Structure 1
Amino acid sequence: MLLKPRFVIILLLFSVCTKLYAQDSTLVGKTIKWDLTQCIEYAKKNNIQINSLRLSKQLSQQELELAKAAKLPDLAGSATQNFAHYNNGNNTNGSSSGFSASGNYGLSSSVTLYNGNYLNNNISQKNLGIQAANLNILQQENDITLQITQAYLAILLDKENIIYDTDLVNTSAAQVKLEQQRYTVGSVARKDLIQLQAQQASDQYTLVNVRNQERGDLLTLKQLLILPSDLTFDIVRPDTIVTSQQNVSPLRDAQNLALNNRPEVKSSQLGVQIAQYDVVKAAAGYKPSLTAGGSIGSGYNTGAGNGYFGQFNNNLNEQIGLTLSVPIFTRRVVKTQVEEAKINVEQSKLDLQNTKVVLSASVERAFINVQNAQSQYDAAAEQYKFNQESYRIANEQLKVGVANTVDFLLQKNLFVQAQQAFVQAKYNVILSLRIYDFYRGVPIKL
């Protein structure tokens, strides 16, 4: 599969920009110029999806702490205070009325001694959940890295086109000036001058379009990074960019590296283990559970005599005991939970298989892209070399007045087309090589 044309890539990048990202308010109103590494590092710190996954990891950490705390005994206190009004009309000494108070206070605690190893399995499962959360963060960082690399290279392509097109405009201006002098002295026809003037206007129009394209691509990268709109932003153009690679890693080696190291595969593998723990946890419902508990309490009543502290001492009660719960008939609840968990295991295995298939296909596509891009680059470089020489000769002939204007413009158009194809092929091979190496675990850098 060939690499998509640059304008298609840019449209895709604009669609990506509709996702949520975080802005850094400290950059408002500033002027910055970043290289690719700085862009990637900034995105990793500020991307909202990545930060959202970091919050999900914190939630997983809290779930782990809760699972660990479930093994500890609990402790609860209770207090009941009552006030009553009484009216005793049968008193031999006359009727009497008044208020009485009573209260009961206690502490209770319980701890699970055995429940089919549910608590330990739950802790192990939550640990895997944290590992999976870390891998999800890495996967999202990989995705944003590729998106930014594509946007960055699109801008570099624009900048190189601007250099070439600026040179064409300057050359056209010099040609028109020379032709104007010849027309003034009557050595060339007016149509020849007009043809060169039209070509100069066309070259100027092309240059304007390329500059507009650069502004649009810079905006795309700003939106990917979610930089403030009033920030003046540009990228650093490397002095040299390697466009070829002598030894491209074999496809099978690259696929094995990707399958063994990419976070999406490791995350899917953890997903299988997490699902398997659900089966074990559900099966714990078949087993008995043993709980230890104890309580201490006392109370008083002002109408009972013997004083407040005396009643507390007399009413003090303490107890400790064990509770054994044996499931006998659960109306298929546990069996259903176990079977559903097993189905989820099979689904997670299919997800893992699909992840591997998709990743292997992506690596193979990247490998084919490298081969195609390298072949295109070699052919485009050869075409550019010969058309450049032909254009140089035609330009010299035009200067001395021995070239036909129509033939010169035809040769110039061929040269421009070859130049554009060469520059496009150059950045295609750069992008394809970086993506292929990235799947192999090689960090992206220019």
Structure 2
Amino acid sequence: MIKNMSQLIKIVLSLLIVFHSGISLAQDTTVIKQPAIWNLQTCLAYAKQNNIQIISLKLGTKTTEQALLLSKAAQLPDLYGSASQSLNHGQGSSVTSSGSIGINSALIVYNGGYLKTDIKQKSLSVKSADLSVEEQENTLVIQITQAYLNILLDKESIIYSNDLVKTSKAQLIQAQQRFSAGSIARRDVVQFEAQLASDTYTLTTAENAQRQDVLSLKQLLQISHETAFEVASPDTIKSRVLIPALNEVRKFALENRPEIKNSEYGVQIARLDLDKAKSGYLPTLSLSGSTGTNYASNSSYSYTGAQFNNNFNQQIGLTLSVPIFTKRANKTNTELAKIAIDQAELSLKNTKLLLSQDIEQYYISALNAQGQFNAAEKQYEYNEEIYRIATEELRLGAANVFDFYQQRNLFVQAQQAYVQAKYNAALSASTYNFYLGIPVNL
């Protein structure tokens, strides 16, 4: 027997070790599965699955689901079993033993509709909890998209800055050669050296900005700063897209956005609270029943099983409870529920107002961003051509350094404005269209 028990314990421990190892391996696999290169959709999917705030809200949804199950179960009868045993010692050596065994149950037949109202309210609470998850996901989508585009902007700025540094180095070498040949003054060479230093500083600034923006995106994704992280650059950026009419987007958002639906559920939940408060004025009818037996024995009279049958009893009854005076409890609950309804309706009105204002602001921003992008693109094209001509003239010695750098600075400014406008237009359009239910897609 002992040997078999020892073997059983060893088997159980082995199974526990294997089970624990499996869990650890699964957890490690989850960590390892983080991609090395992240595109926008990967970032969004990862955040929705692993964000702590979203996970917490999902757990809150499970809590409300349990509350709903408990509310539904309140319509069912309960059932309790009981048993007791006692010994009594009297004068001399007399000892009396007695006991009882029983089962009792109760069912609420009517309580002013409180239970049905509570079930409706808990069902709405579950839906509201789901919408809270969706709200947090929408917030993350906007934040992550902006952070992701910032990194793409940094990467493109680095490419342009690298090109400028390479060009400045080549021009400095050419200037040094011409200075050695005596065709230009030392002042011109210093000008080229200063420009190279300025371009190198701009490149370093762009690289620092990229590191900071990568850190910001990692923080939004809630991954370790030590994690290898590379953002994928799409082939094209959709900066020039159709901007839907303001009324169309506003109408859709007011009918479909989770924050609006959540606020509407808040009003419905508050109204159900009023119904529950009013049920306190109504009577409660409950049904109860019990069955059991008792027995006793002493030193001169032995207990026999016949006592179970002789003392067996059954009972069933109805209880009606009518509230007559509740020290203003029902009145106060009703008034508080009315106040809560007013607050919920005010919250809904404010939510609609804020959403409408946000959409209008995004609409204006999208239109402005599109216009700025179109203008910046043309400006960049013209200045690029002028800069190309100035560069060729400088190479041939047909232009002085002052005129060249004047054109170069105009080109750099136009280039920076173009890159900034391109990503700003993409972000503004994506954000605005997101309120129309269009998924973010660069």
Taking structure 2 as the reference length, the TM-score comes to 0.91
Residue 234 of structure 2: aligned partner: 238
Distance 1:252 1:176 in 2: 57
1:222-301 equivalent positions in 2, closer than 5 A: 222-245=218-241, 247-301=242-296
Letter matched to residue 157 of structure 1: L
Alignment of 1:134 onto 2:133? no
Alpha-carbon distance, 1:85 to partner: 2.3
Distance 2:301 2:125 in 1: 60
- The alpha-carbon distance between structure 1 residues 30 and 267, as it changes in their structure 2 partners (threshold 3 A), is closer
Deviations 1:235-261 (A, max 9, x none): 11001112112x321101110011011
**Does the CA-based 8 Å contact 1:108-1:296 persist in structure 2?**
yes
Distance 1:248 1:172 in 2: 41
Q: Secondary structure at the match of 2:100?
A: strand
Distance 1:29 1:184 in 2: 59
Structure 1 unaligned runs (5+)? 1-22, 89-96
Q: Secondary structure at the match of 1:45?
A: helix
Alignment of 1:175 onto 2:189? no
Letter matched to residue 126 of structure 2: I
- The alpha-carbon distance between structure 1 residues 323 and 29, as it changes in their structure 2 partners (threshold 3 A), is closer
Distance 2:435 2:393 in 1: 51
Q: Secondary structure at the match of 2:368?
A: helix
Alpha-carbon distance, 1:100 to partner: 2.7
Distance 1:162 1:293 in 2: 79
Residue 103 of structure 2: aligned partner: 107
Residue 374 of structure 1: aligned partner: 370
1:52-63 equivalent positions in 2, closer than 5 A: 52-63=56-67
Residue 365 of structure 1: aligned partner: 361
Residue 38 of structure 1: aligned partner: 42
Alpha-carbon distance, 1:310 to partner: 2.0
Identity, in percent, stands at 51
Deviations 1:118-158 (A, max 9, x none): 11111111111111111111111000010000000000000
Residue 191 of structure 1: aligned partner: 187
Residue 15 of structure 1: aligned partner: none
Q: Secondary structure at the match of 2:393?
A: helix
Letter matched to residue 438 of structure 1: F
**Does the CA-based 8 Å contact 1:380-1:425 persist in structure 2?**
yes
Distance 2:194 2:28 in 1: 47
More displaced 10-residue stretch of structure 1: 41-50 or 296-305: 296-305
**Does the CA-based 8 Å contact 2:243-2:367 persist in structure 1?**
no
- The alpha-carbon distance between structure 1 residues 87 and 306, as it changes in their structure 2 partners (threshold 3 A), is closer
Distance 1:115 1:381 in 2: 72
Structure 2 unaligned runs (5+)? 1-26
Deviations 1:47-96 (A, max 9, x none): 111111100100000000000100010111222211122333xxxxxxxx
Which of 395, 408, 433 is the equivalent residue of 2:404? 408
**Does the CA-based 8 Å contact 2:377-2:418 persist in structure 1?**
yes
Residue 383 of structure 2: aligned partner: 387
Alignment of 1:149 onto 2:157? no
Deviations 1:185-220 (A, max 9, x none): 111111101101110111111111111111111111
**Does the CA-based 8 Å contact 1:103-1:300 persist in structure 2?**
yes
More displaced 10-residue stretch of structure 1: 51-60 or 386-395: 386-395
Distance 1:313 1:371 in 2: 89
Which of 284, 303, 308 is the equivalent residue of 2:304? 308
Deviations 1:321-356 (A, max 9, x none): 100111112121111101111111111011111110
Residue 15 of structure 2: aligned partner: none
Letter matched to residue 267 of structure 2: V
**Does the CA-based 8 Å contact 2:172-2:189 persist in structure 1?**
yes
Alpha-carbon distance, 1:403 to partner: 1.2
- The alpha-carbon distance between structure 1 residues 136 and 30, as it changes in their structure 2 partners (threshold 3 A), is closer
Alpha-carbon distance, 1:99 to partner: 2.9
**Does the CA-based 8 Å contact 2:282-2:323 persist in structure 1?**
yes
Letter matched to residue 285 of structure 1: G
More displaced 10-residue stretch of structure 1: 27-36 or 333-342: 27-36
Distance 1:84 1:332 in 2: 48
Residue 4 of structure 2: aligned partner: none
Deviations 1:278-334 (A, max 9, x none): 011111111111100011122111128373312222222211110011111212111
Alignment of 1:429 onto 2:425? yes
Deviations 1:150-184 (A, max 9, x none): 00000000011111111111111111111111111
Letter matched to residue 397 of structure 2: G
Q: Secondary structure at the match of 2:182?
A: coil
CA-based RMSD of the aligned residues comes to 1.6
Alpha-carbon distance, 1:394 to partner: 1.1
Which of 433, 436, 441 is the equivalent residue of 2:437? 441
Distance 2:149 2:238 in 1: 13
Distance 2:179 2:33 in 1: 52
Count of aligned residue pairs for this structure pair: 415
Residue 342 of structure 2: aligned partner: 346
**Does the CA-based 8 Å contact 1:80-1:103 persist in structure 2?**
yes
**Does the CA-based 8 Å contact 2:237-2:423 persist in structure 1?**
no
Distance 1:24 1:381 in 2: 48
- The alpha-carbon distance between structure 1 residues 273 and 30, as it changes in their structure 2 partners (threshold 3 A), is closer
Taking structure 1 as the reference length, the TM-score comes to 0.90
**Does the CA-based 8 Å contact 2:121-2:272 persist in structure 1?**
yes
Distance 1:30 1:291 in 2: 58
Q: Secondary structure at the match of 1:443?
A: coil
Distance 1:24 1:408 in 2: 58
Which of 323, 330, 348 is the equivalent residue of 1:327? 323
Distance 1:51 1:81 in 2: 50
**Does the CA-based 8 Å contact 2:102-2:292 persist in structure 1?**
yes
Distance 1:242 1:374 in 2: 11
Letter matched to residue 372 of structure 2: Q
